[in-house]
Amino acid sequence: MDSINTALSLMTKECWLASLDLKDAYYTVGIHKDYQKFLKFLYKGKLFKYTVYPNGLSTCPRNFTKLLKPVLCTLRKNGHILVIFIDDILIISTSYEGCITSIIEAVNLLTNLGFVLHVEKSMFFPQQKIVFLGFELNSATMKIKLTNEKITKIMSRISCILNSD
């Protein structure tokens, strides 16, 4: 599975970056009818069952990543540099135009396969500073830093741990 370390190893000085976010990615993957019986739950006296990947099932991240592997391989075979972490995709290119081409080809392939892009969370325009997996990547300075939101979450968790005694 790709990670922030993968992104850092693929970044080059002044490269161009874009990001795509798959909307409700798990809900695009159906569960075989024979296995839906294992994903039932009772809520307010009514029986429900998942027919698609549920959030929180421990096998979903690995299986979803494996499902996207052929997509990643197809794009990489065509010369595109991508990092995929579950439903978050980082596109990297040495040129602005190359990044645009990678965005177009990735969007076309993903939408043709039935995935829906989360427009508000995606960055369709190449830039040299972008947020990916809670980190701000800057190819102009070749620096990485935590976003303020991530710092706040970490500080809150630390505070909870320290005050739990």
In this predicted model, what pLDDT tens digit does every residue of 108-133 receive, in sequence order?
Answer: 999 999 999 999 999 999 999 999 99
Q: Who's near 93: CB < 8 A, 6+ residues apart?
A: 15, 16, 80, 81, 99, 101, 102, 126
Of residues 149, 128, 150, the one with CA closest to residue 139: 128
Domain extent, residue 93, equals 4-163
Q: What pLDDT was estimated at residue 1?
A: 79
pLDDT band at 165 (very low <50, low <70, confident <90, very high): low
Of residues 35, 52, 37, the one with CA closest to residue 114: 52
**Average pLDDT for 66-75:** 95
Residue 164 has pLDDT above 90, yes or no: no
- What residues are paired with 145 via a beta bridge? 136
Q: Looking at residue 29, what DSSP letter applies?
A: S
Q: What pLDDT was estimated at residue 151?
A: 95
Indicate the number of domains in the chain: 1
CATH for 43: 3.30.70.270
How far the first Cα of the chain sits from its last, in Å, is 37
pTM, entire model: 0.89
Q: 162 vs 58, 123, 151, CA distance in Å?
A: 29, 37, 16
